[in-house]
Structures are given as C-alpha cells and as structure tokens.
Homo-oligomer: A and B are copies of this chain.
Amino acid sequence: MTILKGIIAYSVTPFRENGQVDLSLFRRLTERLVQSGADAIAPLGSTGVLPYLNDAEREALITATAEQVNGRLPILAGVSHLTTERTIHHARFAEKAGVDAVMIIPMSYWKLSEEEIYRHYEAVAGSISIPVMAYNNPATGGLDMAPALLKRLLQIPNVCMIKESTGDIQRMHSLRSELGEDVAFYNGSNPLALAAFAAGAKGWCTAAPNLVPELNRSLYEAVQQDRLEEARSLFYRQSELLRFIVAKGLPRAIQAGLELQGVEAGHLRSPLQPLSPAEKQELKQILENCGAL
C-alpha cells in the first residue's frame, strides 16, 4: 500500500464573494502547491473547511484536485462526515476519482463511544480499497482517540496511517512505543514539527507550504540527514509562523498570508471571517521575519 511521507501539503478552499466555491482559483492554488516541492497534496482537510461544504461541493473539489494533480503526486483526500452513510459515500467517490488515500476524522456532536468510533472506521474502510489515515484532532473534531484505540483501528486492513494533532508530543511517543518502529504516524500539529520528526514521524500534514514551502521542506530534509542542529535552527525560523496559523485558525491565517504574498486567495465562508487588520499586520511581521515576504 502507498505509504505517504515527508511534506503533505493541505489545500485551502477559496470562495467567491457570493459564497460559492471558486473552483478555478482552487485549481491554481493546487498547482502552486504541487510545484512548491510538496510530497503529497491533501484537499478537503480542516484547512479546506471540509465540514462547511455540501456534498456537491466536496465532489467537485475532489474531481478538480485529481484532474489538476494528474498523477504527479499522491493525493490524500478528506472524506469525513458526521454520519457513517455519508462518509462511505464520499470515500467511494474519492476512490473512483483516483485519490490515493483518504483521511477520516471521527466528527462528533454527540460524543462517540470507542465502539461507535471503531464501527464507523470499519464500515467506511470496508467500503473502499485504498488506504485510510485515521486522524485524531480533538480541538476540531471534538473526540480524542487514545493510543489504545488508534492501535485497535490499525487492525482494520486498510487503516494503515495515523495522523496525530493533539499537540501533545507524548502521544506520538506512546504510539511509537506501543506500535513499534514501523508504525506510520504523521504529525498534524504544526508547532510540533521538530519534536514529531525527532520522535520518528513519517510525515508532516501541514497547510504551511501554502506560505513557506522551502522552510518546511528544509526542516524535513535536515532531520532525514541526521543534522539536528540545523533542523533546530530551521524550526525556530518558522516556529512563530506555525504557532500563529494554528492560533488564528488555518483557513483564516493561510488566506491572509497568501494575500500578503500577493497571491489571490478568495473569500471565506461565513461564519468564518477574515483576520482583523491588527492580526494581518502581525502576520506580515512574522512572514518578514522568516523571509517569506
């Protein structure tokens, strides 16, 4: 099975002023990510405001990504939904569209039991043949999957990757201790980039390549080549930005950053609002500090 690695770059979903998805701009931003040196492209993640999109919009975005990337890089598509039935629908659609792997976060309104989470993954993974990345992010999804549950999910045949976004490095240590050296775990918490690579993460799931792709890639390469001191230095050059984009919310922060870099970025969908002028000014300074402006 395809195992992703390195820098997995997350797409933003731009909207027109009238509230509709701007597919044409989405394609241009996707092309930009492909050419930035990323190792994989991930549409419809949290950055891509997946939960705010209806079925038709999700499908159009997956199709557009598949066409635009056109086999140049692997695609990891988000297909999560509150209901199992719709998650299956979108997972199947993604597979047919030629996506290489799907990412699934168990979304909650009512907190799910471990058994409910397990059955949800089992039902969705069983409906497709491509690999599944189980994604843990209590801050957005509202559910926290402990290492023991993630271990159990890995027993489902095509659930073969874990993305950890709690922001707690000890979770990754536990995963690696319990699951062994070969477990494919990915870091989804930008401020943990250095610590997660030090801990053995196979890849970094991040929206940052929309703004600072070279810094992201250089950090990964320094770790790969065992140059810790250089990795530390590269990390601290981008850490302020990584904290900022998480603190402000990825869709808002990436949109503002792209505009500051002179790249058209479209509008956000309500209730999400653009950063305030003061926040944009702060971001401008941060981008200048790390040489990205």
**Interface positions of A (Cβ within 8 A of B):** 19, 46, 49-52, 82-85, 106-107, 109-113, 115-117, 119-120, 123, 139-142, 167-170, 173-174, 176-177, 191-192, 194-195, 198-200, 223, 226-229, 231-232, 236, 239-240, 243, 249-252, 269-273
* Chain B residues near A170 (CB-CB < 8 A): 167, 191-192, 243
- Our pick among B82, B117, B229, B251 for the contact of A52 (Cβ within 8 Å) is B82
User: CA of A119 to CA of B51 in the docked complex: distance in angstroms?
Assistant: 20
A189 to chain B, nearest CB (A): 9
Instruction: Give 14 pairs: A residue, B residue, CB < 8 Å, sorted on A.
Output: A85-B269, A85-B270, A109-B141, A115-B273, A116-B271, A120-B271, A173-B239, A173-B243, A174-B243, A177-B236, A198-B198, A198-B228, A200-B232, A223-B228
Given known pairs A82-B52, A83-B269, A226-B227, the reply for A249 and B110 (CB within 8 Å) is: yes
A113 touches B273 (CB 8 A): yes
Which of A46, A107, A123, A194 counts the most chain B CB atoms within 10 A? A194
> Which residues does chain B contribute within 8 Å of A252, judged by CB atoms?
110
Q: Which residue of B lies closest to A198 (CB)?
A: B198
Cβ–Cβ < 8 Å partners of A200 in chain B: 232
Number of this chain's copies in the complex: 4
A176 to B236, CA, bound (A): 8
Q: Which residue of B lies closest to A142 (CB)?
A: B142
- A177, A199, A228 — most chain B CB neighbours (10 Å): A228
B226, A229: Cβ atoms under 8 Å? yes
Contact A119–B270 (Cβ < 8 Å)? yes
Q: Knowing that A110-B140, A174-B243, A198-B198 touch, tell me 7 more A-B residue pairs with CB under 8 angstroms.
A: A84-B270, A85-B269, A109-B140, A112-B271, A120-B270, A226-B226, A226-B227
**Partner pick for A232 among B117, B198, B250, CB 8 A cutoff:** B198
Cβ of A199 and Cβ of B232 under 8 Å apart? yes
- Of chain B, the residue at the smallest CB distance from A138 is B142
In the assembled complex, which residues on chain B have CB atoms less than 8 Å from the CB atom of A83? 52, 269-271
Return A145 CB to nearest CB of chain B, in Å: 13
Residues of B within 8 A of A140 (CB): 109-110
Q: Is the CB of A195 within 8 A of B177?
A: no
- How many Å from the CB of A183 to the closest CB on chain B? 12
Smallest CB separation, A278 vs chain B (Å): 13
Q: How far is the CA of A139 from the CA of B232 in the complex (A)?
A: 28
A267 to chain B, nearest CB (A): 13
Which residue among A19, A191, A226 has the maximum number of chain B CB atoms within 10 Å of its CB? A226
Q: Nearest Cβ in chain B — how far from A96, in angstroms?
A: 22
In the bound complex, what is the Cα–Cα distance between A139 and B138 (angstroms)?
A: 12
Question: What 7 A-B pairs have minimum CB-CB distances, sorted nearest first?
Answer: A84-B270, A195-B195, A120-B271, A198-B198, A228-B228, A51-B109, A116-B271
